[in-house]
Amino acid sequence: MKSVTGRAYFDWNATAPLREEARAAMTGALALTGNASSVHAEGRAVHRLMEEARERVAHLVGADPKNVTFTSGATEANMLALTPAFEVAGRKEPRDRLFVSAIEHPSVRAGGRFPTKSVETLPVTSGGVLHLNALPLALKKVARPLVSVMLANNETGVVQPIAQIAEIVHAASGVLHVDAVQAAGKIDCDIARHGADLMSISSHKLGGPQGAGALVRRGDVHIAEPLIKGGRQERGQRAGTENVAAIAGFGAAATAAKLTDTRRTAALRDRLEQGIKGATPQAVIFGDRVTRLPNTTLFAIPGVKAEIAIIAFDLNGIAVSSGSACSSGKVQPSEVLAAMGVDAALARGAIRVSLGHSTTDAEVDRFVETWNIVARSLLKERSGVAA
């Protein structure tokens, strides 16, 4: 997306530009007066708008609308999901321990509502994929585990074999939560096909507004202890008056994302990576030998620091990132790359480039041209030659 100032945006994994469909839906919602919990005509109109958005979000992930709980975002959705208190088919079945992969988002690695001693980290391969052989061995330790594995990583774009993971988890009488924040709208996120019991998604990663997300359930798995109590909103799963405008925008973005053809994005990503390799053959593209999202590239050049390269890109009118937005305020080694066994010095140079549905060929060409200039300058500085 190119702004009026001529900038090129390559940080879609941090937040996607607001879709016009979402903007229009939010404007329409703001024109309404009423509380969705009220029984009068005004309240019913707002309630109907919310239920339409719920249907749209459910359709994105192949779920039943009644199993969609709106939250303030994916972090809250993750917190809601990561609790020992579960009911399965109407029976109380509390979870004994939480297992998370080593490459999860910080909101999952924090363990949710589990005590620290009850959270165990699962290893990943050098490609960033969960060690499937290690999973059943870990789950043997407890009777009723809860497992949380993201569908696609926010930094590398590496996609996890969730269907296989689900089979292992369910064979161990476990419940599987999947953080699908980065995957929704980019690859198949059908909750039933993947075999997930719970799935977190976020509005602003799809081109909806910030401040809205959802936890989606499948089957007979229910969360017995809400995170936010004090009201019967969201079928008792999340108290508090809903953010109707954001939810309406979320629903519109979900529909638009469902219809997006990501093959073009994948072709642009491949062109961009070819350009990076052409300019700097020594560049390391993380996760390039396994399945990745069609829009994400995380790469590094030995000896080049990410913060310097990102500033250089910014000065040239291009927005990129050093990793996940939640930790980009502090330049520090990526825990995701550390879990993959990447050398700390190389990891400190990791630059994330993420594309979206409105990224153009011209913007990719501009990125490659800029990288040629930036890399040449940085490599000269590293070797002690004046640029």
Total residue count of the chain as it appears in this document: 387
Written as six digits, the tokens of 282 are: 């020594």
**Alpha carbons 27 and 25: distance in angstroms, whole number:** 5
326 in catalytic set: yes
> DSSP assignment, residue 141?
T
DSSP 8-state secondary structure symbol assigned to residue 292: B
Cβ contact 268:1 at 8 Å:
no
Burial class (CB in 10 A: 0-12, 13-18, 19+), 171: exposed
Exactly one of 326, 345, 362, 373 is catalytic; name it.
326
List the structure tokens of 298: 């995380």
Two tokens, residue 104: 């999860």
- Backbone phi and psi for residue 8, each to the nearest 5 degrees, phi listed first: -115, 130
Tell me how far apart the alpha carbons of residues 132 and 146 are, in angstroms, rounded to a whole number: 16
Distance CA 130, CA 163 (A): 12
H, E, C per residue of 201-247: EECCCCCCCCCCEEEEECCCEEECCCCCCCCCHHHHCCCCCCCHHHH
CB contact at 8 A, 71 and 265: no
**Under 8 Å between Cβ of 123 and 135:** no
Name the nearest CA neighbour of 170 among 218, 122, 124: 218
Asked whether 136 and 176 are in contact (CB, 8 A), the reply is no
* Catalytic site positions: 326
